[in-house]
């Protein structure tokens, strides 16, 4: 069946023929899973429209999306790349701390809350991107801002405070 993925990564099957020059090139994202996971909500915050465009294009061209949606795909990659570049430029230290924590903790986001809060703060102050998880129940604290967690291996030290954009600004001002 066509759904079966061919394995292309074997030594002799590596096809290195580049794209023809008629198709515009784009630099690939070039990040592994942990940095991508760490930056995913910021990518989502900035690139939502491009992502939606791409997915809509794929839905509207079933079976031909690979060829028809190259332009949208390039936009998606360029946008995500810009997010990663901006984070690298202004929040490299926090970003590294967070994704390395994810790497060391089986990529479980809830094991790395303090590092995540520092990253969120830095990203919000420098890039104005905020982590928002959609569709959460309104009456409870969003799960990434909780100071007490059941499933984390280590409890969060009391001096680590979650970053909430409006609230901490007010606290710093007063």
Partner 1 sequence: MPPAGGYDAVQYKRNLPSRGLFRPGPLLAGGALLMLYGWYRVVKGIREQNELAREKMWARIHLIPLLQAEEDRDLVRRHIADQEREKALVGGNFRVYNADRYVRPTFAATPANVAKE
- Of the pair 15, 172, the CB lying nearest partner 1 is at 15
Identify the residue whose tokens are 């069946």.
1
Torsion of CA 106, 110, 116, 118, to 10 degrees: -130
Binding of partner 1 by 43 (CB under 8 A): yes
Binding of partner 1 by 54 (CB under 8 A): yes
CB of 92 to partner 1, least distance (A): 20
Residues in binding contact with partner 1, number by CB under 8 A: 63
CB of 119 to partner 1, least distance (A): 14
Binding of partner 1 by 139 (CB under 8 A): no
Binding of partner 1 by 166 (CB under 8 A): no
Q: What is the number of residues in the chain?
A: 174
Binding characters for partner 1, 83-122, by CB under 8 A (x = yes):
--------------------------xx------------
Contacts with partner 1, residue ranges (CB under 8 A): 1-6, 8, 11-20, 23, 26, 28-29, 36-37, 40-41, 43-44, 47-48, 50-51, 54-55, 58, 62-67, 69-70, 72-74, 76-77, 80, 109-110, 133-137, 140, 142-144, 146, 149-151
């Amino acid at each position: 069946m066509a759904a079966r993925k061919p394995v292309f990564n074997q030594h002799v099957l590596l096809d290195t023929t580049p794209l023809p020059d008629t198709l515009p090139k784009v630099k690939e994202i070039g990040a592994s899973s942990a940095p991508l996971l760490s930056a995913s909500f910021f990518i989502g915050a900035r690139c939502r429209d491009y992502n939606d465009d791409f997915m809509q294009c794929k839905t509207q061209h079933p079976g031909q999306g690979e060829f028809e949606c190259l332009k949208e795909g390039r936009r998606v990659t360029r946008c995500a790349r810009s997010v990663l570049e901006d984070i690298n430029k202004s929040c490299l230290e926090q970003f590294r701390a967070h994704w390395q924590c994810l790497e060391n903790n089986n990529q479980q986001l809830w094991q790395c809350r303090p590092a995540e809060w520092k990253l969120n703060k830095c990203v919000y102050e420098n890039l104005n991107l905020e982590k928002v998880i959609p569709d959460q129940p309104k009456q409870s604290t969003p799960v990434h801002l909780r100071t007490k967690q059941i499933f984390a291996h280590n409890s969060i030290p009391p001096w680590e405070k979650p970053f909430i954009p409006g609230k901490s600004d007010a606290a710093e001002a007063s």
